[in-house]
Structure 1
């Protein structure tokens, strides 16, 4: 089997400038590059935090995120890509930081199988953070 590694996740947003600011201010991503994709009519940016990357698209005439895609249990009822997930050392500390930054916390899970949360970016896209059991 061919070897491969993860390169990036992608999100579509209504405002590229607002998203670049949000991903930087809230999660510590830095702008790697900006470019235009003619075929998609997309003003695009790649942001990076260490080996992690997000590609952010502002597409001319794009539709808003449907309401049912903004809530994790409802989103699972629609086929397709759901979210990306990152590991955190301490979920409770991460949640405190997100609350201090006034981030939209969509869903928190504290179950025997594990702990995690979903936050919404500035466009409502879901991002998961999980604390793996020791």
Structure 2
């Protein structure tokens, strides 16, 4: 069997430039590893990388629409991508840094318990 390693996750965004700035502030994703544009399909994309190697692809498509959910777990009603999880060395610091960078908390924060991970932000 072939060997696999994780490379990156991709997010569909409304404004590529605004999200690039947010992820640079929030997660130190400042290096542009790859940039792609397909004007005829109204698609722009870039893969951002942090000094630690974390990578995220942002994809903007003209005419895309935001998903709206009644609560943070409604996304699980749709099969496919549901969330992106990161490991941090200081949860309180990371939480504060993300909020300071402009992130919006969507559910109350709680600490990790023995039965599973902490609630998503």
Q: Give 1:66 deviation, angstroms.
A: 1.6
More strand per residue:
1
Q: Give 1:77 deviation, angstroms.
A: 2.0
Q: Give 1:116 deviation, angstroms.
A: 2.8
1:128 aligns with none
Q: Does 1:60 align with 2:62?
A: yes
TM-score by length of 1: 0.74
CA RMSD of aligned residues (A): 2.2
**Deviations 1:29-87 (Å, cap 9, x if unpaired)?**
01223211468531111101132211111112212x2211x843211122111122110
TM-score by length of 2: 0.80
Distance 2:61 2:99 in 1: 30
Match of 2:81, SS state, is coil
Match of 2:120, SS state, is strand
Equivalent pairs, count: 117
1:44 aligns with 45
1:2 aligns with 2
**Any gaps of 5 or more consecutive residues in structure 2?**
none
1:76 aligns with 76
Q: Does 1:110 align with 2:111?
A: yes
Distance 2:84 2:40 in 1: 25
**Any gaps of 5 or more consecutive residues in structure 1?**
120-134
Distance 2:39 2:67 in 1: 25
1:99 aligns with 99
